[in-house]
Amino acid sequence: MTDALRNAAIDILKTNDRGRYTVPTKGLYPFQWNWDSCLTALGQCHFDENRAWTEIETLFAHQWPCGMVPHIIFHQMDDGYFPGPHIWGTDRPVPTSGITQPAVAGFALKRMLDCASDRQAVTDRLRALLPKVAAWHRWFFATRDPHDEGLVAILHPWEAGRDNSVDWDDPFDRVPTDGITPYTRRDTMHADPSHRPTKAQYDRYLWLVEHFRALRWDTSKLHDASPFQVVDPGFNAILFRSCADLADLAEDLGESGIAAENRSYAARGLAALEGLWSDAHGQYLCRDRVTGALIDSASVGGILAVFCAIPQARAARIAATIAGHGTRYCVASHSPHDPRFDAKRYWRGPVWLVVNYMIADGLARAGQQDAAAKISAASLALIGKSGFAEYYDPMTGEALGGGEFTWTAAMVLEFLA
Ligand code: 9WN
């Protein structure tokens, strides 16, 4: 059984492999996505280490001079996805989007080094990537933390990778929709529209893209010009974990400057994260940076915070919060106790294996082995029941969204390891 699962996962990774990068799934997402690629590489490590390193190298080959690593690289034109390169208009040699995604690369590289069959053999590749990842981290704090809080803001829901989370509902009230160019969605041609974001949300996604494009994608200007600035605990936790992991890697390679810089980002960030904790919710919450208020929305973003080194008592409380969800399959992307929970709509309830993986990893590191084991078991049960889907109904385990999904397959290889 385990062998069959492993082989099926490897088959998906190979089917979606386009040579030097992997698409999340054919049809729905025909390009390279940032955090998908980094997590995909972890799966590739289990059968082709060389290919795994290439995945990350390809991503960083498209880093912007300012340090940002874009969320999509449009390697080859494909009309199957909207918004395509002409909407973004970023004017890059190979077209990319103009926003970023969770900075999971630092963590991925450390994990890949730990799994390497011959660490010496990958040292040069790691040495070449190290300053690039460090530049990305520096860019985050330079452009997304203008008041030096130690926490960075996302300026578009696509940056968090949790596109239609309940977290963004209130801040989205401030994002206008007037004047956007008429458009035709493609996602709803590949997936059930009732499982995807709404038109009202898409209008706002597009308004933000057009607004930033009008500013010529000058990433030093976008933060202050954006009506949407949200400090997401999950997004920050991934960055802090990557900072800490990059610092370890840098130390090993004798790069003391990068090590010290990233240790400091991680330490300051962890201290600042405390301000997002909610005792009432038993998890962290997003902060709306425009109003300064915490957002009353118990999403998985505040649970994912356990991926960085939060205090053990917080991790224990988060484990209890997950157990308290009471869903058959964990971890729901939104609290089922909140009336806004929607078991089938994308990031408003469904389970995502990548998020499960990071939560389980964080819980295990914080001494919550039982809770971590439950998440791992639930993840594999979902695969056994419904295959390698994009996301799943936490109540029924039904497969939702795209099929034969790359990062889902990659996470299965990790869960089986
Ligand atoms: C927009 C590729 C990506 C993931 C995101 C997920 C979804 C894109 C979309 O697909 O977002 O970036 O068009 O829906 O929300 O996390 O990286 O798998």
User: 369-386 vs 312-325: helix axis angle to the nearest 10?
Assistant: 40
Q: Is 24 in the pocket of ligand 1 (CB under 6 A)?
A: yes
124 included as an active-site residue: no
Model confidence pLDDT, tens digit, residues 92-149: 999 999 999 999 999 999 999 999 999 999 999 999 999 999 999 999 999 999 999 9
Please, which pLDDT band fits residue 296 given cuts at 50, 70 and 90?
A: very high
Residue 170: the pLDDT is 98
Q: Tell me which DSSP letter residue 180 carries.
A: P
Domain count, the chain: 1
Which ligand 1 atom lies nearest to the CA of residue 354?
Answer: 16
Torsion of CA 128, 129, 135, 139, to 10 degrees: 160
Q: Is residue 48 included in any domain, yes or no?
A: no
Please, which pLDDT band fits residue 361 given cuts at 50, 70 and 90?
A: very high
Residue 135: the pLDDT is 99
For residue 391, the cross-strand partners are 400
Which ligand 1 atom lies nearest to the CA of residue 81?
Answer: 13
Instruction: Please name the residues in contact with 408: beta carbons below 8 A apart, sequence gap of 6 or more.
Output: 12, 353, 354, 383, 388, 389, 390
- The pLDDT of 11-23, averaged and rounded, is 98
The gap between the terminal CA atoms of the chain, to the nearest Å, is 14
Q: Is residue 49 included in any domain, yes or no?
A: no
- SS3 of residue 22 by DSSP: strand
Q: Which candidate, 183, 157, 161, places its Cα nearest to that of 172? A: 157
Q: How far apart are CA 295 and CA 305, in angstroms?
A: 15
Please, which pLDDT band fits residue 194 given cuts at 50, 70 and 90?
A: very high
Model confidence pLDDT, tens digit, residues 58-68: 999 999 999 99
Q: Which domain holds residue 118?
A: 103-416
CB 212 within 8 A of CB 278: no
Q: Is 36 in the pocket of ligand 1 (CB under 6 A)?
A: yes
Q: Is residue 181 included in any domain, yes or no?
A: yes
Q: Which candidate, 52, 43, 64, places its Cα nearest to that of 21? A: 52
Percent of the chain with pLDDT over 70: 100
Q: Is the pLDDT of residue 209 over 90?
A: yes
Helices (H), 226-307: 233-252, 256-273
Which of 12, 163, 168, 354 to mutate for ligand 1's pocket (most ligand atoms within 8 Å of CB)? 163
Tokens for 352, please give them: 């995502």
- The pLDDT of 162-187, averaged and rounded, is 96
Sign of CA dihedral 200, 204, 209, 211: positive
CB 273 within 8 A of CB 151: yes
Q: How far apart are CA 195 and CA 184, in angstroms?
A: 17
- The pLDDT of 273-301, averaged and rounded, is 98
Q: Is residue 299 included in any domain, yes or no?
A: yes
Q: Is residue 10 included in any domain, yes or no?
A: no
Ligand 1 centre distance from Cα of residue 402 (Å): 11
CB 211 within 8 A of CB 222: no
390 included as an active-site residue: yes
Please, which pLDDT band fits residue 406 given cuts at 50, 70 and 90?
A: very high
Q: Is the pLDDT of residue 325 over 90?
A: yes
Please, which pLDDT band fits residue 357 given cuts at 50, 70 and 90?
A: very high
**CATH number of the domain to which 115 belongs:** 1.50.10.10
CB 367 within 8 A of CB 312: yes
Torsion of CA 362, 136, 414, 353, to 10 degrees: 70
Q: Is residue 72 included in any domain, yes or no?
A: no
Q: Is residue 114 included in any domain, yes or no?
A: yes
ipTM score: 0.99
Model confidence pLDDT, tens digit, residues 22-55: 999 999 999 999 999 999 999 999 999 999 999 9
Please, which pLDDT band fits residue 71 given cuts at 50, 70 and 90?
A: very high
Residue 262: the pLDDT is 98
Ligand 1 centre distance from Cα of residue 400 (Å): 14
Q: Is residue 88 included in any domain, yes or no?
A: no
Residue 205: the pLDDT is 98
Residue 329: the pLDDT is 98
Q: How far apart are CA 93 and CA 291, in angstroms?
A: 38
- SS3 of residue 25 by DSSP: strand
Residue 163: the pLDDT is 97
- The pLDDT of 182-205, averaged and rounded, is 95
* Strand ranges inside 200-351, DSSP E: 230-231, 277-278, 283-284, 287-288
The per-residue pLDDT of the chain, averaged, comes to 97
Cα 225 off chain centre by: 24
**Which one from 163, 167, 245, 414 is the annotated catalytic residue?**
163
Cis ω for the linkage preceding 331 (within 30 of 0): yes
Percent of the chain with pLDDT over 90: 99
Residue 72 phi/psi, 5° resolution? -130, 140
